[in-house]
Chains A and B, each alone.
Chain A
């Protein structure tokens, strides 16, 4: 059974930094792209960032580009999100999610098939 466990959340002042971690088990971690998705209190889901299986490709939402950095350590089965210059609007539960790929002809479909329980980040003075 796939397990994803986030950690590192907490209360932080605006402008400060925080590093989130996601420990994965029950899967061949280096077979999969991984992502961070967040959810502000009472709001919907927002994709934050994703990283390919070998760290060769990364993507970021415009709202975090230049402030957040995603990384992974396949030897440690771990995913990370370094969050700098935090803003109050970054307050959210941050989920790590594993994506699954399926190829059909020239199509490459993907979806988030496993999620962690989330870690709450609160940015406030």
Chain B
């Protein structure tokens, strides 16, 4: 199975901050990388697919980049509704695997 890691595991930030989350795959996955946001007690919500394509309805302050083994999710200006946990997920092969998550909370 492809192992996904994320860093940091948590971070504290303020509204308006630029936030960057890193995801690394244990082998090359080309651009088979998706990002999800999850708020407590809720289902995950797709943010970005194929490494950098913004899902319809997702604010443009979210962006993704990377290919191969290293990927990033960037929030250009953190908003109050962005405090949540973020997961990356590879779809290069089965089983699809998720990173352990990055919790973004209030500084």
Contacts and interface: CB of A to CB of B under 8 A. Distances in A.
Main secondary structure of the interface of A (DSSP, over half): strand
Contacts of A111: 34, 46, 49-50, 89, 91
A116 B43 contact: yes
Interface in B21-66: 30-32, 34, 36, 38, 42-46, 49-50, 55
A68 interface: no
A8 interface: no
Contact of A47 (B42, B46, B95, B101): B95
Interface size class of A (residues with CB under 8 A): 20 to 34
A113 B50 CA distance: 12
Interface in A72-125: 95, 100, 102, 104, 107, 109-113, 115-118
Contacts of A27: none
A2 B95 CA distance: 25
Nearest to B50: A109
Contacts of A117: 42-43
Interface of A: 37, 44-47, 50, 59, 61-62, 95, 100, 102, 104, 107, 109-113, 115-118
